[in-house]
Amino acid sequence: MRRVILYIAISLDGYIADLNGGVSWLDSGADAENTEDGYEAFLQKIDTVVMGYNTYRQVTEELSPGKWVYSGMMSYVLTHRKMDDLPEIRFVHQNVGRLLQRLKQQEGRDIWLCGGANVVGQCLEQDLIDEFHITMIPILLGRGIPLFCTLDRSIHLKLISVKKNGNLLECIYRRAGNGQREESV
């Protein structure tokens, strides 16, 4: 069965965007001369991208205007807006849990949960994330949009690997044990 993988970058203090939703700081910790491209290796493992509308807007308006960076993959954008589908982009108006359960039943490679925080929070609440690929950027934002929301329980993870990649720290975690939730006391 296909896995759902959260692949995302965060500031050292746990934010995925600044207070205004900006992500220009993402390149601030990169050391191009001493950085391997783990992203390219990751892309070989997936063929489907799931994101919220704010992430879609950031990609299309800030990070890569005029070019869809996920070409060759089917992308699903969770939104309440009425938007016409594009050849490789489906705008869906359904619960992320139903969408991911349907996608996991289909043939294909793994599914990239691309963001943002609201979608990640919904997936955590429904135990839908199988693996966490988190790259820490060496910057303290102080305030912003946190990756993880407040949960009503603990979710135990197992560290699979840690890699220093230039100035970046890449950590991969999987749900620990049988994936069962541990209720908070």
Instruction: Please state, for a pLDDT cut of 70, what percent of the chain lies above it.
Output: 91
User: pLDDT tens across 89-146, in order?
Assistant: 999 999 999 999 999 999 999 999 998 999 999 999 999 999 999 999 999 999 999 9
Long-range pairs, 107-111, Cβ under 8 A, ≥24: 108/2, 108/47, 108/48, 109/2, 109/45, 109/46, 109/47, 109/48, 110/2, 110/3, 110/4, 110/5, 110/45, 110/46, 110/47, 110/48, 111/2, 111/3, 111/4, 111/5, 111/46, 111/48, 111/49, 111/50
pLDDT of residue 91: 97
The enclosing H or E element of 140 equals none
Cα dihedral sign, 116-89-96-105: negative
User: pLDDT tens across 58-85, in order?
Assistant: 899 888 888 999 999 999 999 999 999 9
What tokens appear for 128 in the block? 């839908």
User: pLDDT tens across 105-116, in order?
Assistant: 999 999 999 989
pLDDT of residue 139: 95
Cα dihedral sign, 120-122-123-124: positive
